[in-house]
Every structure is written in structure tokens, then in C-alpha cells.
Amino acid sequence: MKQVPASRSSSLEISDSLSCDYLIIGGGVAGLSAAIELADKGKVLILTKDSADESNTGYAQGGIAAALGREDSTYLHTKDTMAAGAGMCRHEVVLLTVEEGIPLVRRLIKWGFKFDRIGRRLDFTREAAHSARRILHAYGDATGSEMVRTLSDRVQKLNIPVKSFSMALDLLVKDGRCLGAVVLDAASGQAKAVLAKAVVLASGGLGMVYAETSNPTVATGDGFAMAYRAGAEMADMEFIQFHPTTSCLPGAPRFLISEAVRGEGGKLVNARGARFMSGYHPQAELAPRDVVSRAIVEEMRRTGEDQVYLDMRPLGRERIKQRFPSIYRFCQQYGVDPREQPVPVRPSAHFSMGGVRTDIYGRTNIPGLFACGEVACTFLHGANRLASNSLLEGLVFGSRAARGAMAYLEEEEVSFPDKIFYRGFKPSGGIEDCDARLDKWRQRMWEGAAVVKEPRELRKLVRLLGKELEMLISSGLSKKEEFELLNIYQVSSLIVQSALKRMESRGSHFRKDLPRPDPALAGWHQLARYARKRGKEAVVIERINIT
């Protein structure tokens, strides 16, 4: 097996292993969709890091974008997606997504997905940068959990096994081919192997890289880092989307306040109660997410406050409770009644447009490895994701990655090795203050590489990362939190160095020293790869034009 470059420890022979035809890493919309497509094509196994229902999908409030309304069309949906992507979307990918998504959404309804309706008609809402009301939602603001429920029910009916609380540590690669993953067994704390003829990486996001995030704690960028260490091409890692409105209530965890709140009429106000968005963009509260996030950051700087406020009262008292029940209950729980007073909010890390580079069937540059969902980059989202396109992406490319994996096994004869050696796992006394190190680093990333970036701060982060990575690698890794720390460091390195390399501001990527897009760079993407120079880890970045 390929010896994972993240560790200098001696090789560990793994004798305890499972095997399957298709290994799905991740239990969100993309992973579950892929598993369903593969159910009758061979032996399928789903791995989830936490409980089966804990993923970014389950936290999605806004909904799923689909051009099903009478006044909508796939042309308009494509146009809006391309506009939000700031010259970086691949048109072919956008078009197939909006077109293929429609029958997949209809299939969800057939499977029992309970979209909200007005009478018998589907109830559509509008979100920022959409030119039509095309966002379908469930239980007001619980679309993600309804998605997980519907797809999980289908997985159960198809008897697809799910192995929960099993963190994938690294991909197993031999002779350039992916043959499974090394997994940390939660019960024993030991590394085990899951051998697979094809691996579908659907591990979700990386929001926990930042101190301020809308993501759950499982989103530590594991899939990004595993693929990077295995030699996969990583595309557009500088494009991180920051959601403008995450609650910041005293004593409460961060909680996403859906973009649909502004789509339904919610207004942003500063500490003095004055609206400010019209001074930053003609679309005001319905401007693209990157514009709203930067406007909030600037307004906080201008007023000397660490938050602004989202006023939901224009929606009406009953509408707030009916349309956004989860948001209403959360705010009430922490002492704020959104029917009576504005909710304090600020931006937070939300979604990665970049990831493992794939084609339209999820194929990566490593044979046997496929990727879909947020961990993948098909160039659908470009430099800035259009709101509510992520669940649609998961449905479409989960299905497409499954078809890619099926085609791969039809063409290739895949056999498993007799012995498995893995260098990334080394029993140790543990990293001292692992949680404290993680918290400190996440805060550094928030201060130096978040909504507004400065090259001096980015270079400082690069220097710190070099020291932290070498310390971690030389210490040895054996615990879940140690691997999560490694993954966050390596994903941070990809983000920061890619941000330094892109000499412009575009979409979600904003540099204070270069505040405008460079027309010459429209359509030019960045690919990052793992390398070692002078005995240390290095990120090699090249520029390509594929749009």
C-alpha cells in the first residue's frame, strides 16, 4: 500500500479488515444518493464519522433550488448560478445540474419527501441572487433534516449497511489505484482497513477550520485532507463562502439564520437600528452572499460593534413562527423573541466551493477514487455558490459519482492485496492540549484568512502552519482529535496558500490589497497538490483554464 506521507512513523501492518465493492465515505445527501444508486450493483458500505444522521445536510435550513415553478426555467436558474459564480462556473456543469436536478427532486417527492405546500401546490420561496421564487423547503426551515430522513429511509429499505462512529483516517492507494480506506474503530481505538474496489468520497465540508462557522463539529475537512495526502488534485481552495447571518446570542452556540429570512422580507440593521445594505449594493439584503458578508464586516468596523442585527418583524408575528419554526424556537430558547426584537448576527464560514477536482461523473485523477458533494469541485459553484444549490448538487453528483464508479468496475479488474501496511497511525502518548491547539488555530484562521484577507496575515499563517504541521507529524497520530487537528492544519494550508496565489478579489475570495477582480483571471482556476521540499510538506499550485 502507498505509505501516507503525513507520518514518519514505522509501518503498521493491518490484519483486521472488511471488504466491499463500493465504499461510501459520508452519510449526507451526496453519500446517501450514491449508495442508493449502487444498492443493486454490488456490496455497498456507508461509513459515517459520527451518528448516521450527523452531517452538514441535516443542518441545511433554506431549501433546495429547482426550476419547477410556473414563472421559472432552467435557463433562469443557470443564468443566476453563473452570475453568482463570478466568471468561474463551468457552464456545462451548471446546465446539467439544473436540468438533471428536476427529475431527482420529483423522485424525492415520490419517496415521501414532505415539501411545504400551499394547498396542493408546492410553496416556493426566494433567496439572495435568485431571479425567481424557486426554493423548495420542508417544515419551514428544516429541509436538510427532511432530506436526511427521506434518503435514510430509502437506504434502510434497500438494506444498505451503515457503519457509524467510524472515522476514515486515510485513503489506501497501491500502484496509483485507490483500494479503500484506513478507519479508526471507535470501540477499540485501533486502525482497521476497509478494502473497496471503488471509493466514493462524500465526506462533507470544512467549516471547523474557522472559529466562526455554521457547520457541525464533524466538519473538520477530513475528506479534503485525505484526498490531498493521497495525491488528488485540489481545485479552487481559496473560494470559501461565508454565510452573512449566523446568530451570536449570549451563551448560545452559533446557529444559522437562513437566507430565506431575508428572501421573505427580513432586514439587516446596525446597532442604531438603521438599515445599511442599500449603501453597499443595489439589491440590498438580496445581494450575493459574499457582498452581504463583506458589508456586515465593514458595518461592524464602522460602528465599532461586533455584530449587526436581522430584523424579522417585517414578516409578521405569525409568519415568523409558521415559516421559520426552528429559528424561532432557537432564539426563544436563548432569550430573544424575533417577533419583538432583531436577532444579533454576524458572518461565519459556511461552504467550500473548492475541493477534490472531479469530472462530471465524480472521477478524480486517482483511479478508483470518486468524489461528490461539498468535498468535490466540479466547478459548478465557481467563486461563490448560489444559495440552495448545495442540496441539488448532492443529489445530482451523488448519482453521477455512483454511475462513474459502476462504469469503472465494468472496465477494470480490481484485486485486493494480501497485506496492508499503513504509516499514518502511530500509538503515542497523545498530543498535549489538542483541543486547546485546535481552538487557538481556528481563531487564527478567522482573524487572518476569513471574509477579508491581507497578504501579510496570510504569509504569517503559512509560517505558523509549517511549524505546527512538523510538530504534529513528528509526534505521531493515534486518536480521533489528533487526526482532526492534522486535517484542519492541512486544509488551512490549502486555503491560505491558494488565497495568496490568487492575485485578485473574486466572489467569496476578497483581498484587501487587491479589492477588484482581474478580467484576465476570469475562468482561470488553481490546482493544488501535495509535495515535499527539503523534507517538509509543501503545496504546489498551478493555474489552469477549463471554463
Whose CA is closest to 239, among 86, 346, 98, 93?
A: 86
Q: For residues 364 and 342, what is the distance between their CA atoms, to the nearest angstrom?
A: 46
Q: Is the pLDDT of residue 4 over 60?
A: no
For 400-442, what is the HEC assignment?
Answer: HHHHHHHHHHHHCCCCCCCCEEECCCCCCCCCCCHHHHHHHHH
Mean per-residue pLDDT of the chain: 91
Q: Quick one: pLDDT at residue 547?
A: 59
Q: Which one of the listed residues 289, 423, 437, 502 is annotated catalytic?
A: 289
Beta bridge partners of 420: 14
> What's the pTM?
0.93
Q: Is the pLDDT of residue 140 over 90?
A: no
Q: What is the pLDDT of residues 84-99, one digit of tens each?
A: 999 999 999 999 999 9
CATH 3.90.700.10 fits 245-346, yes or no: yes
Residues whose CB is less than 8 angstroms from the CB of residue 88 and which lie 6 or more positions away in sequence, other chains included: 236, 239, 379, 382, 383, 506, 507, 522, 523, 525, 547
Q: Give the model's confidence band at 478: pLDDT under 50 very low, under 70 low, under 90 confident, else very high.
A: confident
| C-alpha cell belonging to residue 161 | 449497511
Kindly list the distances between the CA atom of residue 264 and the CA atoms of 98, 140, 273, 279, 323, in Å, as whole numbers in the listed order.
23, 12, 19, 20, 9
Q: Are 47 and 201 in contact (CB under 8 A)?
A: no
Q: For residues 534 and 470, what is the distance between their CA atoms, to the nearest angstrom?
A: 12
Least confident of 62-66, 151-155, 295-299, 381-385: 62-66
Q: Is the pLDDT of residue 77 over 90?
A: yes
Q: Give the model's confidence band at 170: pLDDT under 50 very low, under 70 low, under 90 confident, else very high.
A: very high
Whose CA is closest to 18, among 179, 154, 189, 215?
A: 179
| C-alpha cell belonging to residue 120 | 396542493
Q: Is the pLDDT of residue 15 over 80?
A: no
| C-alpha cell belonging to residue 321 | 413562527
What does DSSP assign to residue 309?
Answer: E
Is 323 a catalytic site residue?
Answer: no
Q: Is the pLDDT of residue 504 over 80?
A: yes
Q: For residues 373 and 151, what is the distance between their CA atoms, to the nearest angstrom?
A: 15
Q: Quick one: pLDDT at residue 76?
A: 97
Q: Quick one: pLDDT at residue 487?
A: 96
Least confident of 349-358, 383-392, 405-414, 529-538: 529-538
Q: Is the pLDDT of residue 6 over 90?
A: no
Q: Where in the chain is the domain with CATH 3.50.50.60?
A: 1-20+29-59+155-193+203-239+353-415+426-547
Taken in order 478, 253, 439, 225, is the CA torsion positive or negative? Answer: positive
Q: For residues 222 and 485, what is the distance between their CA atoms, to the nearest angstrom?
A: 10
Q: For residues 124 and 122, what is the distance between their CA atoms, to the nearest angstrom?
A: 6
Q: Quick one: pLDDT at residue 62?
A: 66
Q: Is the pLDDT of residue 424 over 70?
A: yes
Q: What is the pLDDT of residues 340-384, one digit of tens each?
A: 999 999 999 999 999 999 999 999 999 999 999 999 999 999 999
Q: Quick one: pLDDT at residue 419?
A: 80
Taken in order 145, 146, 149, 155, is the CA torsion positive or negative? Answer: negative
Q: Quick one: pLDDT at residue 65?
A: 95
Q: For residues 435 and 430, what is the distance between their CA atoms, to the nearest angstrom?
A: 12
Half-sphere exposure of 131 (CA within 13 A, CB side): 14
Q: What is the pLDDT of residues 182-232, one digit of tens each?
A: 999 887 888 889 999 999 999 999 999 999 999 999 999 999 999 999 999
How crowded is residue 18: how many other Cβ atoms within 10 Å of its Cβ? Answer: 18
As a residue count, the chain comes to: 547
Q: What is the pLDDT of residues 271-318, one digit of tens each?
A: 999 999 999 999 999 888 899 999 999 999 999 999 999 999 999 999
Topology at the third CATH level for domain 1-20+29-59+155-193+203-239+353-415+426-547: FAD/NAD(P)-binding domain (3.50.50)
Helix intervals (H) in 248-316: 259-263, 289-303
Name the pairing type of β-strands 240-247 and 255-256: antiparallel
Whose CA is closest to 363, among 374, 351, 378, 379?
A: 378
Q: Quick one: pLDDT at residue 139?
A: 86
Q: Is the pLDDT of residue 146 over 60?
A: yes
Q: Where in the chain is the domain with CATH 3.90.700.10?
A: 245-346
Q: Is the pLDDT of residue 59 over 70?
A: no
CB-based burial, 226-253: b 16+ in 10 Å, e otherwise? bbbbbbbbbbbbbbbbbbbbbbbbeeee
